[in-house]
């Protein structure tokens, strides 16, 4: 973007079209402000996992609950494997028939498949047990190893076709589990006299492990784009030596480089950590730390020995997207004058302090539950944007909801632009019957009120077939492409008569080459502008559809669906914050679109 920032230093260099466009854009304050705000907003939603969530960056401690349940279920899983090994194929199928799961999705239809499933479940449990078992507990490690060996021998025998032998081995393994449970039982710090293994604290990275590779892609992309002016300038000066022709040639390489680096980063992430976790699934850490199911300890320390304290690092907003605090429902932003709550859970002043329920009952109150990592009860940082009706932190939902709103805006704009450009090209370039057919189709579509068409279509799309996000993107694109198509058609009608188009045909270029390489690039200006406006329109449409309850459904959130969470004027923060964010985003897109239109218009050059 800053290709044109340096003063021209060679006499041969003359500015090309894009140099002039970028220069024009750079000169516009409103464009820069709009791009800055948009970059900030996209940064916030892209880095949402680091800003808001209930997973600590790093956790050192023991998950006693996971250890206990894994250990206790070893017998049941071994039993399941034993049954599968000793049954015949016909018996297995008969079992399926009996339970009505013959041919059902997700149920393995062969004995080997079912055994594989059980084996995976077993490995998962064994891994958890082995993870927290101290390095020093040699006897216990040996017992676990003996059990593992029996299992793998059994599996090998089964794979070798010797089912009776496998059944015998698994039977032996099943007999071991009883002793294993006794040997490996965890030491309870509250009752050390009962004995058991003192579990060792281990380090995990819950937040990092929950990231999806695609999130890494967008994070790297955002960082590279946001820092573009800095490294671009370095690259142009140092590597390219300020040679304008060279700089111009590098433009495409830089764009591919940025994309390539982002893809590489996400692939690397996939190879290292695998897939992530869904954001609306609560992580066990906060609840576990309070109930005692999890204990935070410096890494390597044994549970019950020593008294080291480990404080996990949480994201700034320590709330999960779907984490509820029902005792705080509709609590206003905590810096608001009547947000203060006393120890019993009662509002100290303001409308809710004296509010009486129906029939004169005082509303029942519950003390505020301050969980691990959360700010204090009356800290003004506790809920900066208030709380919704299920006691979910509203700022957290705003940050995550922005992802869906902004994604829908961009995706729908891209999709509708592509559809519109294709139809517009066909109509404008070929004319005649194709033109008539496409234009009549457009007129029919435009004659139906678009918003109601979208609402109706959304109502008929079941949420379990296509996720509502993509359904809404597709529906918006399929209905709103008409404007772009007409625009492109008009440009084509204008350009078709230009001599360079006739010259391209006279050079023997195919229709496809003429359309896409010679006409379309000259028509891209208005298309870009309309795409910028389409993003804004897409965000607004998604908000309206979600507000009416046809779009995004809880526990996921979008800015539009968040506005819908309360229509009561006293819960002003529910309407104000998402509404303001929608307003700001749409305004910025319109500013950017306006500036691009002006910059692309040669007559506006000043």
Partner 1 sequence: MSDSQSPEGAAKPLLELRDLATWFHTDEGTAKAVDGVSYKIYPGETLGLVGESGSGKSVSALSVMRLVPSPPGFVERGDILFRGESLLPIADEDFRRIRGNEVAMIFQEPMTALNPVYTVGNQISEAVMLHRGLSKKAAREHAIEMLRRVGIPSPETRVDTYPHEMSGGMRQRVMIAIAMSCDPALLIADEPTTALDVTIQAQILDLIRELQEEAGMSVLLITHDLAVVAEAAHHVAVMYAGKVVEYASVEELFEKPRHPYTIGLFQSLPDLAKQGERLTAIPGMVPSATNFPSGCRFRTRCSIASDLCAGTEPPLVSLEPGGAHTVACHHLEEASKL
Q: Does 489 engage in binding with partner 1 (CB under 8 A)?
A: no
Query: What are the φ and ψ backbone dihedral angles of 341, each rounded to 5 degrees?
Result: -125, 135
How far apart are alpha carbons 348 and 331 in whole angstroms? 12
434 CB-near residues (< 8 Å, 6+ apart): 426, 427
- Minimum Å gap between C-beta 282 and partner 1 is 53
Enumerate residues 183-242 that contact partner 1 by CB under 8 A: none
**304: three-class secondary structure by DSSP:** coil
- Minimum Å gap between C-beta 513 and partner 1 is 8
Token code pair at residue 243 = 């040679």
- Minimum Å gap between C-beta 510 and partner 1 is 6
Encoded one letter per residue, x for contact with partner 1 by CB under 8 A and - for no contact, window 417-436 reads ---------------x----
How far apart are alpha carbons 233 and 113 in whole angstroms? 57
Closer Cβ to partner 1, 228 or 509, answer by number = 509
Q: Does 9 engage in binding with partner 1 (CB under 8 A)?
A: no
Sign of torsion, CA 446 450 454 456?
Answer: negative
**341: three-class secondary structure by DSSP:** strand
Enumerate residues 496-555 that contact partner 1 by CB under 8 A: 498-500, 502-510, 513, 517-518, 521-522
- Minimum Å gap between C-beta 413 and partner 1 is 23
Q: Does 91 engage in binding with partner 1 (CB under 8 A)?
A: no
Closer Cβ to partner 1, 168 or 601, answer by number = 601
Would you call 236 exposed, middle or buried from its count of C-beta atoms within 10 A (0-12, 13-18, 19+)?
A: buried
Binding residues with partner 1: total (CB under 8 A): 24
User: Tokens 């216990």 correspond to what residue?
Assistant: 140
Sign of torsion, CA 152 158 160 165?
Answer: positive
- Minimum Å gap between C-beta 445 and partner 1 is 26
Q: Which span (14-22, 45-53, 262-270, 273-281) binds partner 1, by CB under 8 A? A: 14-22
Q: Which span (11-19, 304-312, 434-442, 549-557) binds partner 1, by CB under 8 A? A: 11-19
98 CB-near residues (< 8 Å, 6+ apart): none
Q: Does 16 engage in binding with partner 1 (CB under 8 A)?
A: yes
Query: What are the φ and ψ backbone dihedral angles of 61, each rounded to 5 degrees?
Result: 165, -165
Closer Cβ to partner 1, 246 or 275, answer by number = 246
Closer Cβ to partner 1, 345 or 490, answer by number = 490
User: Measuring CA to CA, which residue among 2, 10, 1 is closest to residue 242?
Assistant: 10
Token code pair at residue 327 = 């005792």
Q: Does 245 engage in binding with partner 1 (CB under 8 A)?
A: yes
- Minimum Å gap between C-beta 17 and partner 1 is 7
Bridge partners (DSSP) of residue 341 are 347
Q: Which span (9-17, 33-41, 319-327, 436-444) binds partner 1, by CB under 8 A? A: 9-17
- Under the rule (CB under 8 A), what is the footprint of partner 1? 12, 14, 16-17, 245, 248, 432, 498-500, 502-510, 513, 517-518, 521-522
């Amino acid at each position: 973007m800053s290709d044109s920032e340096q003063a021209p230093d060679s006499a041969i260099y003359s500015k090309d079209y894009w140099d002039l466009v970028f220069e024009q854009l750079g000169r516009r304050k409103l464009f820069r402000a709009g791009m800055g705000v948009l970059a900030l907003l996209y940064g916030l939603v892209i880095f949402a996992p680091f800003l808001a969530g209930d997973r600590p960056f790093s956790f050192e401690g023991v998950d006693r609950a996971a250890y206990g349940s894994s250990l206790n279920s070893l017998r049941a899983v071994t039993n399941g494997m034993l049954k599968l090994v000793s049954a015949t194929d016909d018996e297995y199928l008969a079992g399926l028939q009996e339970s009505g799961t013959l041919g059902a999705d997700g149920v393995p239809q062969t004995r080997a498949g079912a055994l594989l499933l059980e084996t995976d479940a077993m490995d998962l449990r064994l891994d958890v047990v082995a993870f927290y078992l101290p390095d020093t507990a040699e006897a216990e490690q040996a017992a676990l190893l003996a059990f593992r060996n029996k299992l793998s021998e059994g599996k090998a025998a089964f794979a070798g076709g010797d089912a009776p032998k496998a059944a015998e081995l698994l039977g032996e393994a099943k007999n071991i589990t009883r002793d294993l449970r006794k040997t490996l039982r965890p030491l309870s710090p509250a009752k050390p006299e009962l004995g058991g293994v003192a579990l060792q604290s281990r380090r995990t990275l819950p937040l990092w492990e929950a990231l999806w590779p695609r999130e890494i892609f967008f994070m790297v992309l955002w960082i590279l784009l946001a820092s573009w002016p800095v490294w671009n300038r370095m690259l142009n000066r140092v590597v390219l030596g300020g040679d304008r022709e060279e700089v111009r040639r590098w433009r495409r390489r830089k764009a591919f480089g940025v994309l390539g680096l982002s893809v590489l980063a996400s692939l690397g992430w996939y190879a290292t950590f695998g897939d992530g976790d869904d954001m609306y699934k609560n992580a066990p850490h906060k609840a576990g730390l309070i109930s005692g199911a999890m204990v935070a300890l410096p890494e390597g320390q044994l549970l019950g020995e020593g008294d080291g304290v480990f404080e996990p690092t949480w994201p700034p907003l320590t709330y999960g997207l779907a984490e509820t605090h029902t005792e705080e429902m509709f609590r206003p932003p905590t810096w608001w004058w009547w947000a203060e709550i006393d120890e019993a859970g009662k509002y100290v002043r303001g409308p809710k302090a004296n509010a009486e329920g129906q029939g004169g009952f005082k509303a029942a109150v519950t003390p505020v539950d301050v969980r691990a990592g959360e700010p204090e009860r009356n800290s003004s940082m506790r809920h900066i944007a208030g709380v919704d009706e299920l006691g979910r932190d509203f700022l957290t939902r705003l940050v995550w909801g922005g992802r869906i709103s902004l994604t829908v805006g961009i995706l729908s704009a891209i999709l509708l632009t592509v559809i519109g450009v294709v139809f517009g090209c066909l109509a404008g370039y070929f004319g005649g019957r194709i033109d008539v057919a496409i234009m009549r189709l457009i007129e029919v579509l435009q004659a139906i009120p678009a918003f109601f068409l979208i609402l109706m279509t959304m109502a008929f799309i079941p949420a379990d077939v296509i996720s509502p996000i993509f359904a809404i993107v597709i529906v918006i694109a399929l209905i709103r492409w008409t404007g772009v198509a007409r625009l492109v058609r008009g440009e084509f009608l204008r350009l078709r008569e230009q001599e360079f188009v006739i010259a391209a045909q006279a050079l023997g270029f195919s229709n496809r080459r003429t359309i896409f390489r010679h006409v379309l690039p000259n028509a891209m200006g208005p298309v870009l502008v309309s795409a910028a406006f389409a993003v804004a329109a897409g965000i607004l449409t998604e908000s309206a559809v979600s507000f009416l309850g046809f779009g995004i459904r809880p526990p996921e959130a979008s800015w539009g669906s968040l506005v819908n969470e309360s229509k009561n004027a006293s819960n002003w923060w529910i309407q104000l914050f998402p509404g303001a964010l929608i307003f700001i985003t749409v305004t910025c897109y319109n500013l950017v679109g306006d500036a691009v239109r002006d910059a692309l218009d040669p007559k506006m050059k000043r």
